């Protein structure tokens, strides 16, 4: 593994150079990997591994017809590489639990009888294993328990793979019953197309993930956008102007500069007026939001967030309620304006054509 200096802190990471795909293929040569759940992460990880020459089968509940049909469309054949959950688990040597967090409690009893000695139980999120008092996931000690968590949605995992690059992933081993759990983990991490792998623990992964999704990555970002848009509109700015200054310039220009060389480099490539304003107002935003992030971290650590997720997302009518919530967002003036702005981008038709050709469309994060 390579030692990398991250801002004065040296971390040990796994790169493709020292753990090439050929090595991963050799480690997984005699494994049968069953992906349970063809929803968000399932399609991306399974297709990437299949394209990398790794033996993958799918375990999917037929009652979720859309996911079953999608697996068939993606080339998994019923009775050959696509099975119900129990049959896939029976055939597998590595079971990848990629169902959503709220469904784990219902799915685990169907998986548990097939987790026999020497097999591996894989997660892409620490939720089910760490919060086992809530989910019931308690594998026996003769089973490897491993994790590879791509730092992006399934859509991004697949898109980046097809583009020849990778999404960075964290990895962890909670139980090493066979003596080969770490190698299994690294091999799958490379197999699913990770850019590089950095070590974590199940506990740290689930905590950072829940904080990140509720914070900067999704919740805070959406909330701040709505606040700025509302202020601009209230003060007489047009929807187009408010959206462009709030969202479009961020996603189409500035965040790409941050991606290339960091925030300071983005600042240095903006006007002096923008630089000064950003530097002066940044501390104010940090002061305003730091208490919220502290409350958020506490809610995650005390498992209050996990309990809420299981309670709310586990109801029979959750999908209908979710669709209603998302419809409110989609139909709001801000995101209606956003749809109009996106349609005016010169490259939008080309992008739509690429999505049609690859079959990759936007889906939610894990």
Catalytic residues: 125
Q: From CA 135, how far away is CA 348, in angstroms rounded?
A: 42
Beta-bridge partners for 332: none
Residues 6+ apart with CB under 8 A from 220: 214, 289, 292
DSSP three-state, residue 73? helix
Cα dihedral: 258, 162, 218, 309 (round 10):
-150
Q: Do 74 and 58 touch, CB atoms closer than 8 A?
A: no
DSSP three-state, residue 60? coil
Name the burial class of residue 229, with classes exposed (0-12), middle (13-18) and buried (19+) by CB atoms within 10 angstroms of its CB. buried
Place of tokens 């959206």: 243
DSSP string, 328-361: HHHHSHHHHHHHHHHHT-TTHHHHHHHHHHHT--
Q: From CA 98, how far away is CA 201, in angstroms rounded?
A: 18
- Residue 322: both structure tokens together: 């979710």
């Amino acid at each position: 593994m390579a030692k990398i200096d991250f801002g004065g802190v040296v971390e040990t990471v796994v790169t493709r150079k020292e753990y090439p795909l050929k090595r991963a293929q050799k480690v997984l040569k005699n494994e049968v990997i069953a992906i349970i759940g063809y929803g968000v992460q399932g399609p991306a990880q399974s297709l990437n591994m299949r394209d990398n020459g790794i033996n993958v089968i799918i375990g999917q509940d037929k009652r979720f017809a859309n996911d079953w049909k999608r697996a068939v469309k993606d080339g998994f054949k019923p009775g050959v590489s696509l099975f119900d959950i129990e049959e896939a688990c029976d055939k597998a040597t590595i079971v990848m639990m990629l169902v959503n967090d709220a469904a784990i409690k219902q799915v685990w009893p169907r998986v548990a009888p097939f987790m026999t000695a020497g097999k591996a139980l894989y997660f892409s999120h620490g939720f089910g294993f760490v919060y086992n008092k809530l989910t019931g996931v308690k594998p026996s000690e003769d089973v490897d328990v491993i994790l590879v968590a791509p730092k992006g949605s399934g859509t991004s995992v697949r898109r980046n793979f097809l583009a020849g690059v990778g999404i960075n992933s964290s990895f962890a081993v909670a139980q090493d019953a066979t003596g080969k759990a770490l190698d299994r983990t690294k091999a799958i991490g490379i197999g699913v197309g990770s850019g590089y792998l950095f070590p974590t623990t199940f506990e740290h992964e689930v905590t950072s993930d829940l904080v990140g999704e509720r914070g900067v990555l999704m919740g805070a970002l959406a909330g701040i956008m709505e606040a700025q848009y509302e202020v601009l509109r209230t003060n007489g700015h047009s929807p187009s102007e408010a959206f462009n200054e709030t969202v479009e310039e961020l996603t189409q220009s500035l965040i790409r500069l941050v991606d290339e060389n960091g925030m300071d480099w983005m600042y240095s490539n903006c006007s002096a007026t923008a630089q000064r304003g950003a530097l002066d107002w940044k501390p104010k935003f940090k002061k305003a939001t730091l208490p919220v992030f502290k409350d958020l971290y506490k809610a995650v650590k005390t498992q209050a967030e996990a309990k809420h997720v299981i309670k709310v997302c586990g109801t029979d009518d959750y999908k209908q309620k979710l669709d209603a919530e998302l419809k409110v967002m989609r139909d709001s003036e801000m995101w209606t304006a956003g749809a109009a702005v996106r349609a005016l981008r010169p490259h939008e038709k080309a992008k739509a054509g690429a999505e049609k050709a690859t079959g990759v469309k936007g889906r939610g994060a894990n």
